[in-house]
Amino acid sequence: MKNLLLVGLFLVAMSPGLAKAQIIQIDGSSTVFPVTEAVAEEFQKSKRGKVKVTVGIAGTGGGFKKFCRGETDVSNASRPILKLEMDYCKKSGVQFIELPVAYDALTVIVNPKNNWVNSLTVPDLKRMWEPAAQGKVTSWNQVRSEWPNNPLKLFGPGADSGTFDYFTEAIVGKAKSSRGDFTASEDDNVLVQGVANDRNALGYFGFAYYIENQAKLKAVPIDGGKGPISPSSKTVEDGTYQPLSRPIFIYVSKKSLDSKPAVKEFVEFYLKNAPQLVKQVKYVALPQNAYSIGADHLKKGKIGTVFAGTAEVGVKIEDLLKREASL
Amino acid sequence: MGKIETGTDYGFFHSQSENATANAQWQKLRERAVEFGMLLCALSSVGVTMGIVWVLIAESWHFFANVSIIDFLTDTQWTVLFENPRYGIMPLVTGTLVTSTIALIVALPLGTIIAIYLSEYANVKVREVLKPILELLSAVPTVVFGYFALLFVTPLLQRILPDLPGFNMLSAGIVIGIMIVPYVSSLSEDAMKAVPVTIREGSYAMGATRLQTSLRVLIPSAFSGIASAYVLGFSRAVGETMVVAIAAGTQPNLTLNPMQGAATITAYIVQVSLGDLPHGSVAYQSIFAAGMTLMCMTLIFNIGGYLLRKKYREVYE
Amino acid sequence: MMDLTSGDLQRRVQRNKQKDKIFAVIGLAATFVGMLTLAALLADLMIDGLARLRPHFFTSFPSRFPAQAGILSAWVGTTLVMLVTALTAVPLAIGAGVYLEEYAPKNWFTALIEINIANLAGVPSIVYGLMALGLFVYQFRFGQSILSAGLTLALLILPIVIVATRESIQAIPNSMREAAYALGASKWQTTRDHVLPYSMGGILTGVIIGLSRAIGETAPLITIGALTFIAFLPDPPVKSEFPFISFDWLWSPFSVMPIQMFNWVSRPQAEFHLNAAATGLVLMVMTLAMNGIAIYFRYRFRKRIKW
């Protein structure tokens, strides 16, 4: 009798979570996290607890690894899926639908006491940030001779981040091509502090961090060839703030879509409510038709990525969405 | 015709001795089982190491297929995450060594002094209050210590050293030192407390002061325990991740100057594994090569520590 | 030969006494450095976080609105993970420590195990996370669960507790053991009834320091899949139907407080930073409570030692 009890206990102990079927598992970038968190929160409220959503922050790379192993249903990504990851997914038989969900406008910031910079062109920025500048371009007047001979203090995200990749691609022309002698930090709040405390500082990070700290920072209008444009929800949404508007994505597993009806509902909810939720977490929403096209892709099950496994900069979102996708 | 009492007696003894033998055998089995169980526990640590080494080697293998090991060991730049990557581990190694050395310079004297104070000078009530408070220091999440170093200690140091950059190894090292003080002090104090009271009283009987007793009698006697505490403290300092990532920065820098920022091996590993790099790329696998290097460094130090302790271990009776 | 006049001797003794007194001050000062740092940390956290410590903070799930976000899933997760960690690490470590001190022959194999354990203490926590991902999450199929997390942290703190166990067992004079053997006790009986009780104080120190470290770990848990947004709790361990206890919670996804803190502190909104500070305070109080239990036992054990 005692043995039977023990066996019973053992069996109970060994039966892993039956609740798994009702959980939507999401992981990936910590940049996309605030948006997905907002959607997950509202979705769960609307479902009154019948569906559970979990979100992790293992990073875009870690997220894709889990996604391609079939462990997550949705992957948060601050950059498009790369060739290496696409191969991994193909090997495990995981097919995905790529959906841009918001813009993260990269904002170039200087200290409010910086009274000489009114706007910056892409060549200006390139002169500051390209690899050849390392150790050489150390004062402001080396970028533009009319600027003062003050030391140039640079702040930026760490070289492992999607923000870094996108900025270097957009400004220098090749991803990861940058000088190494700048103050790097994973935590954008630290960059905010750094620029806010130093008159001669310049940094770049996501729009949300600028908006939350407007009193301490000055955003620099960027001249992408059509005149200086200040970053704002309007200029990003209508595509005039270039080239530093980067789209952020979610990738949805086709298998999860087909086998877990809750996932389909969740993603549809995501696309429908993104415009206002994205604004609430201080990111910039895509133009409305981008979400409609996305929902259409979802319905039709359009699998694959339009980026062919490499990074790309400065493409309008509507053009992106109309492209042919490949796995 | 009475019962054969003796027969019964014999029978009684017989069954007693049979029982005794059976008991003895049963007990032997139990002893063996207990010993075996404990051996398994000890071997679990070996299992863990094998697991770690397996993971590190499996991924480093692929890394070293793409990067020459000579370059890895001798190149002076670690720019793995940039275009035109260079794979010299030395900047990360110096980052690790400088922060750990500063941490030890802070923690070892401080920890030992506190241990002596708590063991010899403080009375029981004071000790039982102070010791837990100090142990609470090791409970502070490392993330909190990291921000403490960045937002509190660095500005404080910048008042004394105005040229100190926002990210620097000095702050990180000092805070790691403070963080591992409980390791050193609590374990050392335990070791000193465990020295038999006869030895301690013998010293006091000779008229020695508390300081003399501590320095000349207790510390040498408890040396093995204290050395263990030191080695543990060093290992902890070298393996610390978040404090350095937050306060010393993530920009590899080949320098021995603590007033600069630098990346340690651990900060680099965390940065990449939680970042946006694709898993499986050479850049990602560099973290395993870095991890292997760290393990080799601590191994050398630990072997040295072991040999030292073996030489000085005291046996009392 | 008698080159020490009584005057010299007096002066020497005076100097030594002075040094002694000076050291007492230094010792107190050193202790205060540690306590001051702790006080500064706590003050820092309290200034920002105290306002957030309302009951609803403890009973709410995370949210995108800082004022509504709470640590319910986080503190439940921390409690359950620490339970698994403690129940795994303590027996394993004591077993290993006792074996190495009492039973192991003094050969190269034992030396290897010893060096190995000391080395493990230096492995960065993130590497434990990477190993645990391959081993517990994938190989053993425990998944991204509380069980995996507890086991990972247990392995992380194993070296500390083993070293503390060994040192405290080593310090017990052999006369104790020999007295027990002389009375006919077996090795295990000696260990269980004489060696272990006397070494419990030191063992508990190791447990305290180890668990304190484990409760604050972030990086390895993120790697094995601890979550940052989870708006539900694991299944409760006690059920209303047979067999009344459930182990489902072991397999449940989870979050822990340091991760929640880490996420909040890197968000741009300043109000989230207040949440982070409040979480830090709660974490420290939880650790104090956990340590308090062990400290109480250590105090009781220590009082009984009389040699």
- Does C201 lie in the same domain as C153? yes
Task: Tell me which residue range forms the domain holding C65.
Answer: 55-304
The Cα A281–Cα A290 span in angstroms is: 19
- Does C174 lie in the same domain as C99? yes
pLDDT (0 to 100) of residue B17: 64
Lowest mean pLDDT: which of A73-77, B16-20, C100-104? B16-20
Residues of B in contact with A60 (CB under 8 A): 275-277
Q: What are the backbone angles phi and psi of residue A230, rounded to the nearest 5°?
A: -85, 145
- Does B76 lie in the same domain as B61? no
The Cα A156–Cα B250 span in angstroms is: 11
Please say if the pLDDT value at position B53 is more than 80. Answer: yes
- Does B285 lie in the same domain as B225? yes
- Does C121 lie in the same domain as C42? no
A227-282 pLDDT tens trace: 899 988 888 888 888 888 888 999 999 999 999 899 999 999 999 999 999 998 88
Confidence band of B6 (pLDDT split at 50, 70, 90): very low
Q: Cα–chain-centroid distance for residue B295?
A: 13
Q: CB neighbours (10 Å) of residue B241?
A: 26
Partner B contacted by C111 (CB < 8 A): yes
Q: CB neighbours (10 Å) of residue B186?
A: 27
Please indicate, yes or no, if residue C227 is contained in any of the structural domains: yes
C118-138 pLDDT tens trace: 888 878 888 888 888 888 888
- Does B154 lie in the same domain as B112? yes
- Which helix (DSSP H) or strand (DSSP E) does residue A105 occupy? strand A96-110
CB contact under 8 A, B83 and A176: yes
- Does B78 lie in the same domain as B57? no
Q: Structure pTM?
A: 0.84
- Does C264 lie in the same domain as C133? yes
The tokens of B259 are what? 């007033």
- Does B248 lie in the same domain as B184? yes
Please indicate, yes or no, if residue C3 is contained in any of the structural domains: no
Please indicate, yes or no, if residue C2 is contained in any of the structural domains: no
Confidence band of A15 (pLDDT split at 50, 70, 90): very low
Nearest Cα of chain B lies from the Cα of C263 at a distance, in angstroms, of 11
Partner A contacted by B66 (CB < 8 A): no
- Does B166 lie in the same domain as B61? no
Residues of A in contact with B150 (CB under 8 A): 190
The tokens of A56 are what? 């992790």
Please say if the pLDDT value at position B286 is more than 60. Answer: yes
- Does C285 lie in the same domain as C268? yes
- Which helix (DSSP H) or strand (DSSP E) does residue B36 occupy? helix B5-66
Angle at C127 between CA C121 and CA C130, to 5 degrees: 140
CB B237 within 8 A of CB B176: yes
- Does B152 lie in the same domain as B11? no
Please indicate, yes or no, if residue B123 is contained in any of the structural domains: yes
Partner A contacted by B311 (CB < 8 A): no
- Does C66 lie in the same domain as C171? yes
pLDDT (0 to 100) of residue B103: 94
Mean pLDDT of chain B: 84
Return the DSSP state at C212: H
Please indicate, yes or no, if residue C1 is contained in any of the structural domains: no
Residues of B in contact with A176 (CB under 8 A): 81-83
Please indicate, yes or no, if residue C254 is contained in any of the structural domains: yes
How many CA atoms are closer than 13 Å to the CA of C173, on its beta-carbon side?
15
pLDDT (0 to 100) of residue A129: 92
Confidence band of B14 (pLDDT split at 50, 70, 90): low
Confidence band of B15 (pLDDT split at 50, 70, 90): low
Cβ-based interface (< 8 Å): residues of A facing B: 29-30, 57-62, 64-65, 78-79, 82, 84-85, 88, 131, 158-162, 164-165, 168, 174-178, 180-187, 190, 193-194, 197
- Does C44 lie in the same domain as C101? no
Please indicate, yes or no, if residue C4 is contained in any of the structural domains: no
Q: Please compute the mean of the pLDDT values over residues B70-84 and round it to a whole number.
A: 87
More confident residue, C16 or B1: C16
CB C120 within 8 A of CB B48: yes
- Does C189 lie in the same domain as C152? yes
User: Chains A and C: how many Cβ contacts under 8 Å?
Assistant: 102
CB contact under 8 A, A36 and C229: yes
CB C264 within 8 A of CB C43: no
Subunits next to A (3 or more Cβ pairs <8 Å) are: B, C
pLDDT (0 to 100) of residue B8: 45
Partner A contacted by B163 (CB < 8 A): no
Lowest mean pLDDT: which of A17-21, A99-103, A219-223, B85-89? A17-21
Query: Hey, what amino acid is at C55?
Result: P
pLDDT (0 to 100) of residue B9: 47
pLDDT (0 to 100) of residue B239: 86
Please say if the pLDDT value at position A8 is more than 60. Answer: no
Partner A contacted by B173 (CB < 8 A): no
- Does B84 lie in the same domain as B14? no
Task: Tell me which residue range forms the domain holding B269.
Answer: 71-312
Lowest mean pLDDT: which of A306-310, C37-41, C50-54? A306-310
pLDDT (0 to 100) of residue A14: 45
Confidence band of B105 (pLDDT split at 50, 70, 90): very high
pLDDT (0 to 100) of residue A26: 94
The last residue of a domain, from among B66, B94, B109: B66
Please indicate, yes or no, if residue B300 is contained in any of the structural domains: yes
Domain holding C91: CATH number? 1.10.3720.10
Domain holding B269: CATH number? 1.10.3720.10
The Cα A189–Cα A209 span in angstroms is: 7
Find the closest chain A residue to B168 by CA distance.
A183
Nearest Cα of chain C lies from the Cα of A120 at a distance, in angstroms, of 25
- Nearest CB to C247; choose among A12, A209, A211: A12
Please indicate, yes or no, if residue B195 is contained in any of the structural domains: yes
Residues of B in contact with A175 (CB under 8 A): 83
Nearest Cα of chain A lies from the Cα of C146 at a distance, in angstroms, of 12
Partner B contacted by C44 (CB < 8 A): yes
Interface of C with A in 209-228 (CB under 8 A): 222-223, 225-228
Please say if the pLDDT value at position A135 is more than 90. Answer: no
Q: Strands of A120-121's sheet, edge to edge?
A: A120-121, A222-223, A228-229
The Cα C226–Cα C152 span in angstroms is: 12
Interface of B with A in 255-294 (CB under 8 A): 261, 271-281, 284
Please indicate, yes or no, if residue B182 is contained in any of the structural domains: yes
Lowest mean pLDDT: which of B203-217, B297-311, C135-149? B297-311
pLDDT (0 to 100) of residue B314: 56
Please indicate, yes or no, if residue B317 is contained in any of the structural domains: no
List the domains of chain A with CATH numbers. 22-103+247-322 (3.40.190.10), 105-237 (3.40.190.10)
% residues pLDDT > 70 (chain B): 92
ipTM of predicted assembly, 2 dp? 0.80
Alpha helices in B67-217 (DSSP H): 69-74, 90-116, 124-137, 142-148, 154-160, 169-193, 197-205, 210-212
CB contact under 8 A, C131 and B273: no
Please say if the pLDDT value at position B12 is more than 70. Answer: no
% residues pLDDT > 90 (chain C): 16
Please say if the pLDDT value at position A46 is more than 60. Answer: yes
Confidence band of B146 (pLDDT split at 50, 70, 90): confident
- Does B150 lie in the same domain as B13? no
The last residue of a domain, from among B66, B87, B105: B66
pLDDT (0 to 100) of residue B317: 38
Return the DSSP state at C193: I
User: What is the number of domains present in chain C?
Assistant: 2
Q: What are the Cα distances from residue B151, in Å, to A6, A189, A211, B300?
A: 54, 11, 22, 35
Across-strand partners of C238?
A: C245
Please indicate, yes or no, if residue C159 is contained in any of the structural domains: yes
Residues of A in contact with B164 (CB under 8 A): none
CB C128 within 8 A of CB C155: yes
User: What is the number of domains present in chain B?
Assistant: 2
- Does C165 lie in the same domain as C108? yes
- Does C184 lie in the same domain as C63? yes
pLDDT (0 to 100) of residue A2: 54
- Does B48 lie in the same domain as B20? yes
- Does C60 lie in the same domain as C24? no
Lowest mean pLDDT: which of A168-177, B17-26, B276-285? B17-26
User: Chains B and C: how many Cβ contacts under 8 Å?
Assistant: 311
- Does B58 lie in the same domain as B154? no
Spell out the SS3 assignment of B184-228: HHHHHHHHHHCCCHHHHHHHHHCCCCHHHHHHHHHHHHCHHHHHH
CB contact under 8 A, C118 and B231: yes
CB A203 within 8 A of CB A184: no
Confidence band of A5 (pLDDT split at 50, 70, 90): low
Partner A contacted by C235 (CB < 8 A): yes
DSSP string, A189-200: HHHHHHHHT-TT
Q: CB neighbours (10 Å) of residue B166?
A: 22
Please say if the pLDDT value at position A55 is more than 80. Answer: yes
- Does B75 lie in the same domain as B31? no
pLDDT (0 to 100) of residue B107: 93
The Cα A235–Cα B276 span in angstroms is: 27
Confidence band of C85 (pLDDT split at 50, 70, 90): very high
pLDDT (0 to 100) of residue A250: 94
pLDDT (0 to 100) of residue B7: 43
- Nearest CB to C119; choose among B138, B196, B295: B295
